[in-house]
Structure 1
């Protein structure tokens, strides 16, 4: 059985294309002597296409390159299924007849869950952090990212990311 790093490996986009695919498992890659499956990237959205209520494809760019990302909102671990949302709303209705303090708490929680459950509407120019897997698009024979957690970020986070990456490369990856 092949062993690989269970936590995501922080990489620049160029490294996605430089990583070597494992011979034993097509979903495991190797770079800097580290075998990994999941990657963590950060960059700016430079193009959006094939967007629907459930998924979007976008190009993510950082100073080293550009990669295409496929993100299905419904497969995100942030997504709450409709039946669960109905139960939460029903519980809120029950509590509304009880103590006012409980109502405020439940209302706040519902608001946060709804906000988290909403589809992320990316736009060109948004800074985004992506957690996902590398996969090869067989039709175009190119590497892409299948994102399973994508979060909007900020330019300040992007600057901090680049500083973190420089430190990680100097201290851990390139010894």
Structure 2
């Protein structure tokens, strides 16, 4: 096997291994144990194949550099893939600059479940809205909010546990 082939193999194997490792870790965090376990089998096979190749060529700085660069690229690729998959849900909290806004109703017209309550901000009363959305629809929701209420303060985060409410029956499916 030529040196270039070894370097490219180490690089490619490490990208594949670390990409799968990153996705598996995210699946575990999201509670998808079955999918994570299946990925773990593939991950370990690739890892052992790559480890053998790396250990046989450990004395070369070029091979070690190839391993390191492949590792970094694998983390990047895994995170990009997860971003595209957009597994799970997000909670988007919207704080308007006024109590008098039609934003909750407009969001409901677009099919979003919106919970609303009054709050108090630095400069007076505010309307606070909370919207649960599938992560793959979050950007669409944020664009919708931006177009309808460009001055609104918006924060999103991932919930760890969801029970009851508007989404309860949808989540059970």
TM-score by length of 1: 0.24
TM-score by length of 2: 0.25
Instruction: Report which of the two has the higher share of helix.
Output: 2
- Greater Rg, structure 1 or structure 2? 2
